[in-house]
Amino acid sequence: MILETRRRFLARAALALPAIWAARLARGQEAGAGGVSSAAAGAEPAVPDGVEFVPRGEWSGSRRPMPAKMRPAGGFNRLTVHHWGVDVTGMDTEKSSLVRRMDGLLCSHLGRNYGDIGYHYVVDQAGRVWEGRGLEFEGAHVSGQNGHNLGVMLLGNFQTGKPTEAQLLALGKVTAWLACRYSIGPDRFFGHCDLASSECPGRLLYPFVRSMREGAKS
């Protein structure tokens, strides 16, 4: 019964994805076949319309990136989805509480000698999208596979719990927008487990990630 409920949840949430991807790709920027592309300079927005965005300056305080410890990105041609691996069930979703959690995540990554938080974007349980590592830099989210690879992480442990529908909708929007912005082909969209020996992004999120890739092909 629990397994069937999870299947119904993922199936229902996945229904919107092909439409989201199609709408983004129909804006005149057809997905490429894997070449490296950079975003156009100038008026590009930080995230797509309809997504609550939390800029870096609103959460990282005095902690600053250390460019000397990071590599220039040189554009992106693939995107990888992750989960945090920490159970957030019952945790406060108020922005002020999540600022503290984001700061803790940043401190953890700096403590591992990263130059900054490892992900380019983080999606919280309420569907907010938090700005992470600057897009001018390569991420630090898949060992040995960070070159030209955008990293998007959802707060939660999706081996044991479900992502919220707000998270899934925000994930669909932001990844479709990034695919369009950087001409990332559908075959270049991954879960962490596709690139390394890992359970990430969890068994209850990965089918959704796969449906996004398949939706982009349709």
Q: DSSP per residue over the chain, as a string?
A: -HHHHHHHHHHHHHTTHHHHHHHHHTTS----SS--B-PPSSS--SS-TT--EE-GGGTSTT----GGGS-B---BSEEEEEE--S--TT----HHHHHHHHHHHHHHHHHTT-SS-S-SEEE-TTS-EEE-S-TTB---SSTT--TTEEEEEESS-TTTSPPPHHHHHHHHHHHHHHHHHTT--GGGEEEHHHHSS--TT-TTTHHHHHHHHHHHH-
Answer whether residue 191 shows pLDDT above 70: yes
Task: Please say whether the structural domain 2-217 has been given the CATH code 1.10.645.10.
Answer: no
Average pLDDT rounded to a whole number, residues 157-183: 91
Task: Give per-residue pLDDT as tens, 95-134.
Answer: 999 999 999 999 999 999 999 999 999 999 999 999 999 9
Q: What is the predicted pLDDT for the residue at 37?
A: 54
Q: What is the predicted pLDDT for the residue at 51?
A: 87
Answer whether residue 216 shows pLDDT above 80: no
What does the mean pLDDT of the chain come to?
82
Q: What is the predicted pLDDT for the residue at 42?
A: 38
Q: What is the predicted pLDDT for the residue at 17?
A: 54
Answer whether residue 176 shows pLDDT above 90: no
pTM of the predicted protein model: 0.83
More confident residue, 58 or 40: 58
Q: What is the predicted pLDDT for the residue at 211?
A: 83
What residue ranges do the domains of the chain occupy?
2-217
Q: What is the predicted pLDDT for the residue at 40?
A: 41
Average pLDDT rounded to a whole number, residues 140-161: 96
